[in-house]
Chain A
Amino acid sequence: MTMADEQTTAAALPVAPPSPRFGETFAHARYVVGDNPVTGVSFGLLLILVICALIGPSIVPYDPLASDTAAALQPPSAQHWFGTDQLGRDIFSRVVVATRLDLAISVFSVALVFALGGLAGVAAGFFGGWTDRIVGRIADTIMAFPLFVLAMGIVAALGNTVTNIVIATAIINFPLYARIARAEASVRRNAGYVLAARLTGNSDARIVLTTILPNIMPIMVVQMSLTMGYAILNAAGLSFIGLGVRPPTPEWGIMVAEGAAFIVSGEWWIALFPGLALMLAVFCFNLIGDGLRDIVDPQRRT
């Protein structure tokens, strides 16, 4: 049997499910949301963010890049909901359009760090020995630096691009993921079902991928949600100090940086609205993390 058709057999095996399980998860999710309405609010916020990211550029009233010097520095009004900036660009349009870039940076960096840190950590926890030592020392080395300064250094060294922001954000989060995955995997490596998997002829690599990894997923997903907010903040922070995304691309961090100069002269709206969007996004991901923790925590499944 080749690997490929082995996979399809395994995938095709549960004939009737997963409907009962899905139904149960859904019921549990509803219970958690009912128990803690804040989780519901945060999922609503996430929905808005995702909609903005997906169709934002086609629903905004103005071109986010079009400057109109005649209408510069106007306070919020019916025409420009969030006002206009020093070049007369509509801030509302720019805030909405920026969602896509900011979410993309955080999603890709979290996905990257999950793949790297998660796998390295699981391998370290499962195999122990040298794997553990190497992964552990890499994580220690990264943690020895002030993380934001390290991210600045990486972007500065690799070049000022969005890709490099994603890489830098992933690297600074690596120790967090590696450590969580390592701890969870080492708890499970002597569990009965791992021994059982070994007895039924699974190789170590297979056990890691099909047995350990799925079992630590819930914890990792919670962690991912919590890091999403941090990743957004990190990306915005880098742009704020002039690294990464360059003007005139609409991005929350740059917009705050640009608006900061105008706060003293009374044009508060330029910095406030992108800052508010940034805050809401981080807030939303953190709350979702808390909510997800409640959903996956077996202690609450009574």
Chain B
Amino acid sequence: MSAVPLLDVRDLTVEFATRRGTVRAVRKVDLCIAKGETVGIVGESGSGKSVTSYAVMRILDRAGRIAQGSVAFSGVDLKAASEREMRDLRGREMSMIFQNPRAALNPIRTVGRQIEDVLRQHALAGSGDLKQKAIDALEQVRIARPEERYGAYPFELSGGMCQRIVIALALACRPQLLIADEPTTGLDVTTQKAVMDLVVELTAERGMSTILITHDLGLAAAYCGRVVVMEKGEVVETAHSSAIFRAPAHAYTRKLMRATPRPGITLRDLLPEDAEHPPAPAAPAASETLLSVEHLVKEYPRNAAGAFARLLRKGGEEAPFRAVDDLSFEVRRGESVGLVGESGCGKSTTSTMVMRLADPTAGRIAFKGEDIGAVPASAFSHHPLRSKIQMVFQDPSDSLNPRYTAARAIADPILRFGAAKGAAAVRARCEELARLVGLPGELLDRFPHQLSGGQKARIGIARAIALDPDLVILDEPTAALDVSVQAIVLNLLADLKAKLGMSYLFVSHDLNVVRLLCDRVIVMRQGRIVEQGAAARVIDDPQADYTRELIAAIPHPPVQEVTHV
């Protein structure tokens, strides 16, 4: 490590003034980053990892302030720096990449102009070579045909492409420090790999230091030299990334590591080591077909323009876009099937059609022998089979009505289908369901905003199983949850399936999670099935190139050492 570190954070304490008094988001954090070093800050939500970086950039919101400690950037005290000095530092000396690339770009300016704005702001280019420099910047982040993309608006580009533009913006002024705050959350694994490889390569090329803030230990281990683990505002462990996996010193690091899905383990391995767990339920024997999807097709018109625009356009109609293209698969009773693919592959469209929230263009959806695809989605809410197909949604917060208590949310299907009569019976059923999903009874009268993410996920599950459905569609049910909560929810889902004999159709982009929960996997790409088969077979011995590519893109923490800690 060089004599003067690039960034030296000592004793940093950040406080937020809230209605309920002062909250300490970050407590006495020490962080030291040398020139050219890549450091990962890992932690679950609320661990203070983002707040730490905001404090370094001095972009805390109004209520927050640095209460204690010092932040020095190549010898300059940032805590004492004026807003004017900070403005000069931000972008030129240190810059940041945020989680949602689309939100970070101005939607009404072309990406080329946005890069020019940054260059002009820091007087790094004259008006003559401005455009050329912007195009160079695009080229550096490997954007194909940069001259064309220069004039593109953010909405015309994919998520991965937008994140590359954000990186181009962040690196345009050759800063010394790059803070990447969950730069790949929300991107597909293959895109994640491309973006992370790009960041690492560019920063290494320029001798920059990088702070990678992430909830994903595997990602941090794969790309960072050193990992800092944070919990509840405190740094619990700092170590080299290889060392942290070989011998995690702190209990929290061990817990995080155990909870991270990885190859070669079972669902129970995700749970903390200290508690006793009953053995995982065995996979049920194959039985009769519950859901059979045959030649399912969903088409969307390619251009939503009105009749007038269509009149003006010369030539014939464009062929409609096929989101789901001739899809056939089966789900047997008691089986869980994973539907895997990257965004835009048609997996969500398929699940919405099976769910009967959208109508297929062609094909048959046979559920318990009845063609439910023939019943229009708008009329299906009164269909007798409605109660037999239920769904657990991706975002537990978004899927709960903010004005319903937990009990009311769980009771909704019971009231609609009259599964129980009278307030007392409905309440009793709610309490029974809450017990089943492990939700403490006293939380039943709370509103969603008073509950944690894991508790909300449990309510969503309780609501889905309230009517004893035969098929539950799980739409990335753990994507919005922390890994430790995800571990618990996945185990809960497996137990419930064994207890109640339901079938799952598990929609996910995460092969590691799918392997843990599913018996069979269907890999989709561009609306078609690329490969299907037993989960272990598909993941350990993929036949299709695309499946291999997907599996290779998952950042793998060193596994073998972890399992016998």
Q: Which of A13-21, A56-64, A110-118, A287-295 contacts B (4 or more CB under 8 A)?
A: A13-21
The reply to whether B408 and A14 contact each other, CB–CB distance below 8 Å, is yes
The reply to whether A203 and B382 contact each other, CB–CB distance below 8 Å, is yes
Q: Which of A174-182, A191-199, A262-270, A278-286 contacts B (4 or more CB under 8 A)?
A: A191-199
- A204 contacts across to B, CB distance below 8 A: 378, 381
- A211 contacts across to B, CB distance below 8 A: 401
- A10 contacts across to B, CB distance below 8 A: 408, 411, 415
Query: Interface residues of A, CB < 8 Å — how many?
Result: 33
The reply to whether A197 and B445 contact each other, CB–CB distance below 8 Å, is no
The reply to whether A201 and B416 contact each other, CB–CB distance below 8 Å, is yes
Distance between B504 CB and nearest chain A CB, rounded to angstroms: 16
The reply to whether B398 and A200 contact each other, CB–CB distance below 8 Å, is no
The reply to whether B386 and A199 contact each other, CB–CB distance below 8 Å, is yes
In the complex formed, the residue of B with least CB distance to A196 is B399
* Given A195-B399, A198-B381, A200-B463, A14 and B405 contact (CB-CB distance below 8 Å): yes
- B427 contacts across to A, CB distance below 8 A: 13, 15
Roughly how many angstroms separate A211 CA and B412 CA in the complex, as a whole number? 11
Distance between A25 CB and nearest chain B CB, rounded to angstroms: 11
Distance between A185 CB and nearest chain B CB, rounded to angstroms: 14
The reply to whether A192 and B399 contact each other, CB–CB distance below 8 Å, is yes
Interface string of B353-370 (1 = CB under 8 A from A): 001010000000000000
Distance between A26 CB and nearest chain B CB, rounded to angstroms: 13
- B128 contacts across to A, CB distance below 8 A: none
A70 at the interface (CB under 8 A from B): no
Distance between A102 CB and nearest chain B CB, rounded to angstroms: 33
Roughly how many angstroms separate A201 CA and B416 CA in the complex, as a whole number? 6
B305 at the interface (CB under 8 A from A): no
Roughly how many angstroms separate A202 CA and B382 CA in the complex, as a whole number? 8
The reply to whether A13 and B418 contact each other, CB–CB distance below 8 Å, is no
Roughly how many angstroms separate A120 CA and B212 CA in the complex, as a whole number? 49
In the complex formed, the residue of B with least CB distance to A6 is B415
- B404 contacts across to A, CB distance below 8 A: 193
B393 at the interface (CB under 8 A from A): yes
- B445 contacts across to A, CB distance below 8 A: 14-17, 20
The reply to whether A13 and B381 contact each other, CB–CB distance below 8 Å, is no
User: What's the dominant secondary structure at chain A's contact region?
Assistant: helix
The reply to whether B381 and A191 contact each other, CB–CB distance below 8 Å, is no
A249 at the interface (CB under 8 A from B): no
* Given A1-B418, A196-B399, A203 and B423 contact (CB-CB distance below 8 Å): no
Query: Interface residues of B, CB < 8 Å — how many?
Result: 45
Interface string of B458-491 (1 = CB under 8 A from A): 0010010011000000000000000000000000
The reply to whether B411 and A201 contact each other, CB–CB distance below 8 Å, is no
In the complex formed, the residue of A with least CB distance to B447 is A21
In the complex formed, the residue of B with least CB distance to A212 is B401
The reply to whether A13 and B382 contact each other, CB–CB distance below 8 Å, is no
A248 at the interface (CB under 8 A from B): no
A302 at the interface (CB under 8 A from B): yes
B18 at the interface (CB under 8 A from A): yes
In the complex formed, the residue of B with least CB distance to A1 is B418
- A15 contacts across to B, CB distance below 8 A: 407, 423, 427, 445
Distance between A186 CB and nearest chain B CB, rounded to angstroms: 16
- A198 contacts across to B, CB distance below 8 A: 357, 381
The reply to whether B381 and A203 contact each other, CB–CB distance below 8 Å, is yes
- B408 contacts across to A, CB distance below 8 A: 10, 13-14
Distance between A128 CB and nearest chain B CB, rounded to angstroms: 13
- A193 contacts across to B, CB distance below 8 A: 398-402, 404
Q: Which of B399, B402, B407 contacts A14 (CB 8 A)?
A: B407
In the complex formed, the residue of B with least CB distance to A11 is B423
- A4 contacts across to B, CB distance below 8 A: none
The reply to whether A202 and B412 contact each other, CB–CB distance below 8 Å, is yes
In the complex formed, the residue of A with least CB distance to B17 is A302
Best-buried of A16, A197, A301 by chain B (most CB within 10 Å):
A197
Roughly how many angstroms separate A199 CA and B385 CA in the complex, as a whole number? 11
Roughly how many angstroms separate A144 CA and B126 CA in the complex, as a whole number? 49
- B415 contacts across to A, CB distance below 8 A: 6, 9-10, 13
Roughly how many angstroms separate A219 CA and B31 CA in the complex, as a whole number? 44
The reply to whether A9 and B426 contact each other, CB–CB distance below 8 Å, is yes
Q: Which of A1, A200, A215 contacts B413 (CB 8 A)?
A: A200
Best-buried of A9, A21, A301 by chain B (most CB within 10 Å):
A9
The reply to whether B399 and A202 contact each other, CB–CB distance below 8 Å, is no
- A78 contacts across to B, CB distance below 8 A: none
- B355 contacts across to A, CB distance below 8 A: 199
B279 at the interface (CB under 8 A from A): no
Distance between A20 CB and nearest chain B CB, rounded to angstroms: 7
- A215 contacts across to B, CB distance below 8 A: 401-403
Distance between B481 CB and nearest chain A CB, rounded to angstroms: 14
In the complex formed, the residue of A with least CB distance to B379 is A203
The reply to whether A202 and B19 contact each other, CB–CB distance below 8 Å, is no
A214 at the interface (CB under 8 A from B): yes
A157 at the interface (CB under 8 A from B): no
* Given A9-B415, A12-B423, A16-B445, A302 and B19 contact (CB-CB distance below 8 Å): yes
* Given A196-B463, A199-B391, A204-B378, A13 and B19 contact (CB-CB distance below 8 Å): no
* Given A21-B447, A201-B416, A195 and B393 contact (CB-CB distance below 8 Å): yes
Distance between A257 CB and nearest chain B CB, rounded to angstroms: 46
In the complex formed, the residue of A with least CB distance to B396 is A192
B30 at the interface (CB under 8 A from A): no
- A148 contacts across to B, CB distance below 8 A: none
A81 at the interface (CB under 8 A from B): no
- B467 contacts across to A, CB distance below 8 A: 200
- B321 contacts across to A, CB distance below 8 A: none
Distance between B459 CB and nearest chain A CB, rounded to angstroms: 10
A-B pairs with beta carbons under 8 Å apart, 25 shown: A1-B421, A6-B418, A8-B423, A9-B421, A13-B407, A13-B423, A13-B427, A14-B405, A15-B445, A16-B445, A192-B393, A192-B394, A193-B400, A195-B393, A195-B399, A196-B400, A196-B401, A198-B357, A201-B386, A201-B416, A202-B381, A202-B412, A215-B402, A302-B18, A302-B19
Q: Which 6 A-B pairs have the closest CB atoms?
A: A192-B399, A200-B413, A201-B416, A192-B398, A12-B423, A193-B401
- Can you name 6 extra interface pairs (CB under 8 A) apart from A13-B411, A13-B423, A203-B382? A12-B423, A13-B408, A15-B423, A192-B395, A192-B398, A195-B393
